[in-house]
Structure 1
Amino acid sequence: MLKLLKSVISKSDVVMEVLDSREPELTRSRRIEEMILRSGKELLLVINKADLVPLEILKGWKEYFEDRGLRSVFVSSREHQGTKILRNSVKELLGGREGVVGVVGYPKTGKSSVINALKGRHATSTSSVPMSTGFTKSLQLVRIDSRIYAIDSPGVIPPDGDPFERALRGSRPEDLEDPVKVAIKLIERITRFNPDSLTLAYKIEFSSPLDFLEKLALKRGWIYKTDREPNIDQASVQLIRDYHEGKITYYTKPPGLKHDKTSDI
């Protein structure tokens, strides 16, 4: 996985790092960003799943990153929003030259969807282009237009950090040692930023994270066979999976954002 990631970076002129709009800071990899910038490649942060977050928050994150010298755009690959701005940003970073764009990011951020959005309906696969030397079957080039090519294989950043961070960065919830602990922390985080999000998504009124997991388990019919209690482990895994699939809408504010107009959106 790391070998493919390095290959995508080395063969690209512009590298797009795809972030989850709900947690842009937690789904960044500073280590990979440093690797991209050290290699002399242009870096573009793509804040994906923009349909899950209010516009004013997206603008706040864009300003936050660009104040730190990081070019960024926000898109919704699922809703096909912002793709023209994405293509124009790539063209600007290439400076009108012919070039290759690669895509990296943690699992579940929507890298493949961003590649498809960039390609559009008229993109064509190609193996015979001037820059194709050294490209293997796992790194196919796709023509975006007459001067831009995309690597049609995303560079997957292996999830790192503590169990909660790894979960939000795309680790399979089934692989977590204690999914309940992670789910409780996720519920606390979601309700802190958007108190009504889980109630709207699941039609469950609850008094605490554990109460939510128990009610979700009962609602789905998930019961431990030994004591007939609600199977909160299964409920926790499902909650984390639903988060990855974009079924839970909430947002975190960029540091320093004192005021937003989300109530007007």
Structure 2
Amino acid sequence: MLGKVLQLIKRSDIVAEVLDAREPSLTRSKKIENFAIKNNKKVLLILNKGDLVPLWVLKAWKQYFESNEDIKTIYISSTHHLGTKVLRDAMKALLKGQKGIVLFVGYPKTGKSSIINALKGKHSAFTSAHPLEYGYTKTIQLFKIDNKIYAWDTPGVIPPDGDELEKIIRGYNVDRLEDPVKPALLLIERILKFTSAAILKQIYKTEFSDPYDLLVKIATKRGWINKTDKEPNVEMAAKAIIRDFHEGKITYYTLPPSLNRDDKSSSV
């Protein structure tokens, strides 16, 4: 899968990397960015799910990426169709008035498909189909965003990599986890590192003393009880927590390295 993404990068002018605005650092793929830059492609960072974090946080990340790494950055919310014009204008600026092809890349669950669908509005139109590679039976299509901008009608899915926590944040399929409890506990710990426990208590409408206790309380509250030992099914609760994170039901935010924060004032 990654090989096909790299192949498409070579056939594009802009690589638009979609990030989760809650976790911009952990949803970046420096491997993809470095490959794009090495092949003389322009990189655009898109902070998606911007509705889940405060505006000042989005601005802080934008300033950080543009000032410290010289990478054009915008923030949008594809689910609320906010920022589509900003995205179009950013692509035009990077192309400097020339024609070009854009490839949207990113880890699963970052919202690439939603962005592509938003761009496929009444102003877009399909062009001819292209074979992905010699001997590859499937084809992909370019769609026309405007008179000079085209995009591949396929999200460049980056396979989730990294440690257990990073894989979860990067959209690893929860149903493929042999043991969802450990990564769920790591995710809860990360959330609590950046926000108040009150947020999770409000979302799940229960009190809890630690991450594992939260899983027990969720399972109990929802009637997920093992038939054999009559104990709460914490595996089901763990999967629920991870899915809720992927679906944007859990709101918190991280800050760029340029900003230090010692307090837990990041509740949204």
1:115 maps to 116
Which residue is equivalent to 1:64?
A: 64
Maintained 8 Å contact 2:132/2:139: no
CA distance change for structure 1 residues 221 and 138 in 2, over 3 Å: closer, same or farther? farther
In structure 2, the gaps of 5 or more residues are: none
Indicate the residue corresponding to 1:21 in structure 2.
21
How many Å separate the matches in 2 of 1:126 and 1:170? Answer: 31
Distance 2:140 2:70 in 1: 29
Verify the 8 A CA contact 1:8 1:103 in the aligned structure 2: no
Distance 1:172 1:134 in 2: 25
Q: How does 1:93-172 map to 2 (within 5 A)?
A: 93-127=94-128, 137-172=138-173
Tell me if the contact between 2:48 and 2:111 (Cα under 8 Å) persists in the aligned partners.
Answer: yes
Query: Equivalent residue for 1:77?
Result: 78
Instruction: Answer whether contact 1:21 1:251 (CA < 8 A) is retained.
Output: yes
Residue by residue over 1:186-219, the C-alpha shift from the partner in whole angstroms, topping out at 9 and shown as x without a partner, is 1111122121221222222211111110111112
How far the C-alpha of 1:133 sits from its partner, in A, is 8.4
Instruction: Name which of 245, 250, 255 aligns with 2:257.
Output: 255
Aligned partners of 1:133 and 1:219: how far apart in 2?
Answer: 51
Whether 1:183 aligns to 2:167 is no
**TM-score normalised according to structure 1 size:** 0.92
Counterpart AA for 1:91? K
- C-alpha displacement of 1:134: 6.9
1:221 aligns to what? 223
Structure 1: any 5+ residue segments left out of the alignment? none
Structure 2 vs 1, CA of residues 206 and 133 (structure 1 numbering), >3 Å: closer, same or farther?
closer
Residue equivalent to 1:246? 248
Task: State which drifts further: 145-154 or 118-127.
Answer: 118-127
Aligned partner of 2:175 in structure 1 is: 174
Identical pairs, percent: 55
**Structure with more relative contact order (C-alpha pairs < 8 Å, separation 6 or more):** 1
Structure 2 residue matching 1:252: 3-state secondary structure = coil
- 1:52-72 superposed Cα distances (whole Å, 9 cap, x missing partner): 011111111111111211111
User: Residue deviations 1:6-40, cap 9 Å, x none?
Assistant: 23211111110000011000000111110010010
Question: Match of 1:6, as an amino acid?
Answer: L
Greater shift in the superposed pair: 143-152 or 201-210: 201-210
Residue pair 2:109, 2:246 contacting (<8 A) in 1 also = yes
Q: For the residues of structure 2 that align with 1:220 and 1:12, how far apart are their CA atoms?
A: 48
